Structure formats: structure tokens, C-alpha cells
Amino acid sequence: MTSAAVSYSPFDPIAVFDRADLVENAGVCVLINDVQVAVFYMPKETPCVFALHNWDPLGKANVLYRGIVGDVNGERFVSSPLYKQHYSLDTGRCLEDETVSVPVYEAFVEDDTVTITLQSRRQK
């Protein structure tokens, strides 16, 4: 986890903060410019950090970081704390409604530092 290739444009807005600010197997929220980003930390996963927009498009509130993380048939998700829809941590897709999704962003962990950019994550 220490030598992930950091690849983002120097012009992208970023947030950099301590790994200690993350909460294991749960989410926190960071502000990048005026964009709220939910950051989930799952130490046993690769990658171990996931960044999604914090806006719950169905619940219509900035709450996604307060949801429970887990998996359905292997697909990692955060469940909305308001109405429990599942959003894929990898793609942002809503598992209950394919017309709905939330933006996902690039996230990196290096040593004790976490970096989140507003660049959309490349779909693998």
C-alpha cells in the first residue's frame, strides 16, 4: 500500500490529510473546493480507500459517508443511511436503480497520507 502510483494532474483540486483521520471500515467526509467527498477506508481491501461524492441522489442530502459498507455478491458498496440503497464503491452505480449513480474519485494512500482528487476514477 505504500507505493501506489500517484497519477493525477497537478491542476486537479486535491485534498491531502492524515491516514489517522480515516475510520476503519467506515467513512469520513472531506471538502475539496466546494465539493463534498465521502472517503471509505477498508484496510483489508485493495485498494483500501474509496472516494465517492457525498450526495445521496435519492435521499437528497449530503450523507453517504455515514453509511455502512459491505458487499453484495462480492460487489463492495456503501448503503445510504437514509433509505438504504446500495452504491458501488468501485463504480458509484446504484445497485437498485441503474439510472442512478454517484461520481467516484481517485484516492491514494501513501505512508500516513491520504490524497483525494476530483478527477473521476478510471473505470477498470
Partner 1 sequence: MNTKKIVVVGNGMVGHYYVEKMAALAQAFDITVIGGEPRPAYDRVHLSEVFNGKDPEDLALTTREHYKEIGVKAHFGDTVVTIDREKKTVITELGRHFPYDKLILATGSYPFVPPVPGSDAKACLTYRTIDDLGAIRAQARLGKVGVVVGGGLLGLECANALKNLGLETHVVEFAPGLMGVQLDEGGSGMLRAMIEELDVQVHTSKATQKIVPGKDHTLRMEFADGGALETDLIVFSAGIRPNDQLAKQAGLEIGERGGIVIDYHCRTSDSDIFAIGECALFGGKIFGLVAPGYRMADAALSQLTDTPQSFQGADMSTKLKLLGIDVGSIGDSHGKTLIDDKVPASFLYSNDRERVYKKIVVSPDGKKLLGAVLVGDCSDYDNLLQLYLNDMDLPENPEHIILPADDGNNAAFSGMELPLTATICSCLNVTKGDIVAAIDGGCTTVADVKSCTQASTGCGGCAALLKSTVDTELAARGVEINNHLCEHFAYSRQDLFHMIKVGRLEHFDDVLAKHGTGRGCEVCKPTVGSILASLWNDYILKPEHLPLQDTNDNFLANMQKDGTYSIVPRIPGGEITAEKLIVIGEVAKKYALYTKITGGQRIDLFGARVNQLPDIWSELVSAGFETGHAYGKALRTVKSCVGNSWCRYGVQDSVSMAIFIENRYKGIRSPHKIKSAVSGCTRECAEAQSKDFGVIATENGWNLYVCGNGGMKPRHADLFATDLDDATLIKYIDRFLMFYIRTADRLQRTSVWMNNLEGGLDYLREVVIDDKLGLAEELEAQMALLLDKYQCEWKTTIEDPERLKRFRQFVNSEKDDTHIVFVQERGQSRPAKEQEREALTTA
Residues that bind partner 1 (CB under 8 A): 15-17, 21, 23-26, 28-31, 34, 36, 42, 59-63, 66-74, 76-77, 79, 81-82, 84, 86
- In the complex with partner 1, the residue whose CB is nearer, 6 or 61, is 61
Residue 110: phi and psi, rounded to 5, are -130, 120
In the numeric block, the cell 433509505 is attached to 83
- In the complex with partner 1, the residue whose CB is nearer, 39 or 104, is 39
- The torsion of the CA quartet 12, 16, 19, 21, rounded to 10 degrees, works out to -120
Nearest distance in Å: CB 87, partner 1: 12
